[in-house]
Amino acid sequence: MNTPYRITPYPQRTLKREKTTLSNGSSDNSKEPVKVFCRIRPLKEDEDTSCILLVSPTVLSLNTPSDPKYPSQRQLHCQFNQIFTSYATQKEVFDFVAMPLLQDLLKGKNALLLSYGVTGSGKTYTLSGEPNNPGIMPRCIDTLFNTIDEFQAPKFMIKPDKMNGFEIQAENDAVKDRLFENRANAKTLSKQSKKGSGDQLHYINDEIRIKDIDENNLYAVFVSYIEIYNNTVFDLLDESNGKPLQSKILREDAQKNMYVNGVVEIEVKSADEAFEILNSGQKRKRMGHTLLNSESSRSHSVFNIRLVQVEQIAHNSEGDPMVPDSNIIKVSQLSLVDLAGSERTNRTQTTGMRLKEAGRINNSLMCLRNCLEVLRENQVTKCNKIVPYRDSRLTFLFKNFFEGYGKVEMIVCVNPSCLDYDENLQVMKFAEMTQDVKIKKPENRDTPYMRKTVKKINTPMSTTKVKSNSSFSLPKIPSFLFDVENLTEMGVTIDQIAKALKLRGSKMETNYSEYNNKVKHFRKRLCDLNEGNILNLSEIKSMKTIIKKGKQESYNLKNKIVDLETVNDSLSAKNQELQEVIRSLRCINDEKDLKINQKILEKERAKQKFAMANEKMSQELENKLRKQREHLQATMKAKENKLKKVKQILESDDPLLSQEDVETPDYDPQHTPPTTILKETQTPSKRNIQTPSARHRRSRSAGEVWLEHNSIKPIPLGTVLQPCVKKRKSLTKLTKASDITNPKQSKYCLIAQDQDTEGEIETKVYKGDIVSTCGGGAQVIFNDVELLKQKSPTESP
């Protein structure tokens, strides 16, 4: 992205200036500091202010933003080997950072390039770029193949040995591998033609070449692509046929170098092949969406380019290939690492799996920082602390680089927005600390993968011509022409022949002794090989036994799997049947719940109706009782007045009692019973007073007939506590006077039902006597109330 970057002047204010002191050199010439570069990405459209000012091409100033949460304003000056602003193009970054590493790669040296920064700062863009504006990785591939295109070794002549090394295989084996690859490519092309053209990336090639290379060597390029996700190593080139990627382990080879065991390492012969592999690996790379970056890398990705160099095979004068005395394989490696961005969860608002990924990323970056801090402390204080490489797969994989295996460089990507000030401050501190770390120069160490390997040439024995070794050659006998006439001249020639014969004799003795020594040495080697062969045979035998045992176990496990699958099928069928039963029972349960709810609603409605009717009946009953109470009070008052009059008469001395002295009390002929009338008789000699006659009561022999008044339909209680009424007449409403004035009826009862405070039904029976009045009517005098109520025998008092 070539969007111009606007550097805004920082407002004038009083600032506390701080300057970091970086060690740029050391008296120890065997070590060199880690080179750290900085690249500033352009501001986004919604970001107006910048917290970074460019002081010089190698120094920048990190300024505190004008925000209330930063009480003190200060400037932090940070120094780098080179600073690239947003005006810098991808080509400028490649020429300054990656081109020296690529030149060292062709010279057999190793290099590691790390891209570091917070999420969304442009690390992936710097390394990968775009098809029309490629980054470091595509430019490295194009430049490498532009340089070695004419000097590449035949494919499959050099083959990985699966132990982080390489070997030269026979020509017949290489031809077989090439035929197998052609068939596989044909199948792949047919599949792609059926599916349609793929989205293969094609980057612009600048045709850049590196001139100073050894043209006497043959070159082979091998690439691999891995990622470290949640502190686990995965191979992005592993063709697992749609299955999830399997985790890989780290191992140490014979030269104590770390490598990924079982990683897929592919030999490429052109830049397009390498781009195809790079594109397929990036598709499997784990990406995620966060608030700060829509395509955030959730893992550390490592793209390895290994260059293998071998000496060209010589030919004799007849054109037949010859095996040189020794052949050296030289291996160099360039690792391009795209580190996942550090992030703060309070800004990205990540949860769940994204939160776990962010924690693992921050932990691995913290482990990288701890390792560099221990390295710097060991160099400054001359101590020998253990560097915690094993705390993370990232540091454990590249520990050889920090111990002098190759050159280490880092490019720090920075977002100049004021919102990223806290993150940028931590990045600057990490960059400062990294530049203080010194690493041994790679030229002071032996190249790890220097090996002597005999080249195998598959040619018939009859046509193979091997150049004789010069150590067994004999001096030539000078040729001469025998001439009798010139014996003087022949004497000189004979002397020369004699000297040559003596030299040949001494040379033959030397050759004979050397030959005997070589025979002994060869015999010793044969014996060693025979012993090794015997050991290998015994090991092969034991391995065959183990393999046979493993096959038997595998066969048994397959049988168990078949049995378990059968059981699983039966259980699945039973499970389906039970699921159907469960569904039917749930339907029945739902229907019953619906009916229960309907009954509960009906019960609630009945309770409401009953409460309303009970309230209405209780009001009517209270009115009747009030009226009867008033009537009884009036009757009692009349009786009291009558008794007073009678007492006055009895106590009076007047022999004559006038009829006016006894007055009949007032009464209501409809509701009050007839009062007793006193009959008086007068004689001249004696006063006779007749007592009032007793109330007329019916004979019990005639039987009691009850008038049962049910204003509401009572609820049967289902108990023995029921009113015992043998003869009764039941009615619900008194509509006429004859209902109560019937002379056959002598008892009256009123049944009422109500709910108490506990919700139980309470039945009350109001009993009374029916008394006739003098006016031909009747009245009811209540004399008893019966209460019927049920209680539980276990109820607490």
Which of 118, 130, 129, 413 shows the shortest CA–CA distance to 293? 118
Residue 352 included in any domain: yes
Average pLDDT over residues 236-247: 77
| Bigger pLDDT: 737 vs 348 | 737
pLDDT at 732 over 60: yes
On whether residue 262 sits in a domain, the answer given is: yes
**With 70 as the cut, is the pLDDT of residue 668 above it?**
no
**Confidence label for 146 from pLDDT (cuts 50, 70 and 90):** very high
Based on the structure, what is the number of domains in the chain? 3
pLDDT digit string, tens, across residues 764-788: 888 898 888 887 788 888 888 888 8
Q: What is the pLDDT of residue 726?
A: 74
pLDDT of 143 over the 90 cut: yes
What's this model's pTM, rounded to 2 decimal places? 0.54
Can you give the CATH number for the domain in which 744 is found?
2.60.40.4330
**Greater pLDDT, 354 or 662:** 354
CA distance 104 to 97: 12
Over residues 652-666, mean pLDDT: 50
pLDDT in tens, 302-331: 999 999 998 776 554 555 444 344 567 889
425 and 487 both lie in a single domain: no
Report the DSSP beta bridge partners of residue 32: 439
Euclidean distance between the first and final Cα of the chain, in Å? 90
DSSP string for residues in 363-427: HHHHHHHHHHHHHHHHHHH---PPP-GGGSHHHHHTHHIIIIISEEEEEEEE--BGGGHHHHHHH
Q: What is the mean pLDDT of residues 101-109?
A: 91
Percentage of residues in the chain with pLDDT exceeding 90? 24
Full domain range(s) for residue 775: 703-715+722-788
Mean pLDDT (the chain) is: 77
In a domain? residue 252: yes
Question: Of 38-52, 436-450, 712-726, which range is least confident?
Answer: 436-450
At residue 788, the pLDDT reads 82
Mean pLDDT calculated for residue range 552-576: 92
User: Same domain, yes or no, for 301 and 443?
Assistant: yes
Examine the domain organization and report whether 256 and 348 are in the same domain. Answer: yes
Has residue 573 been placed in a domain? yes
CB within 8 Å of 419: residues ≥ 6 apart: 47
Report which of residues 29 and 176 the model is more confident about: 176
End-of-domain residue from the set 650, 670, 690: 650
**What distance in Å separates the CA atoms of residue 791 and residue 62, rounded to the nearest whole number?**
88
Residue 95 has pLDDT above 60, yes or no: yes
Which residues have CB under 8 Å from 694's CB, separation 6+? Answer: none
Mean pLDDT (whole number) for 586-591:
93
Are 626 and 575 part of one and the same domain?
yes
- Are 323 and 353 in a shared domain? yes
Considering only CA atoms, which of 748, 745, 743, 750 is closest in space to residue 765?
750
> Model confidence over 378-425: pLDDT tens digits?
888 888 888 999 888 889 999 889 888 889 999 999 988 888 888 888
Would you say residue 446 lies in a domain? yes
For residues 499-515, give the mean pLDDT. 83
CATH of the domain at 215: 3.40.850.10
Residue 674 lies in a domain: no
37 within some domain = no
Residue spans of beta strands (DSSP E) within 249-348 = 250-252, 258-260, 266-268, 287-288, 296-297, 300-311, 328-338
133-134/438-440 β-pairing: unpaired
757 and 614 both lie in a single domain: no
One domain for residues 496 and 447: no
The last residue of a domain, from among 421, 452, 483: 452
pLDDT band at 164 (very low <50, low <70, confident <90, very high): confident
Residue 659 confidence (pLDDT) above 50:
no
Which positions make up the binding site?
A: 117-124
How far apart, in whole angstroms, are the C-alpha atoms of residue 687 and residue 239?
144
pLDDT above 60 for 184: yes
Mark whether 424 and 488 lie in a shared domain: no
Residues 494, 575, single domain; the answer is yes
> Are residues 234 and 333 both part of a single domain?
yes
Q: Are 430 and 63 in contact (CB under 8 A)?
A: no
Examine the fold and report which residue of 452, 487, 502 is the final residue of a domain before the chain moves on.
452
pLDDT, position 638: 92
| pLDDT number for residue 244 | 75
Q: Is the pLDDT of residue 234 over 80?
A: yes
Neighbours of 685 (CB within 10 A): 5
pLDDT at position 322: 44
Assigned domain for 322 exists: yes
Interatomic CA distance for residues 480 and 490, integer angstroms: 8
Cα 671 from chain centroid? 93
In this prediction, residue 14 carries a pLDDT of 32
Which of 178-187, 518-527, 710-719: highest mean pLDDT?
518-527
Same domain, 525 and 479: yes
Give the H or E element holding residue 628: helix 487-651
Binding residues for ATP: 117-124
Residues 347 and 496 in one domain: no
Maximum mean pLDDT: which of 198-207, 225-234, 345-354, 533-542: 225-234
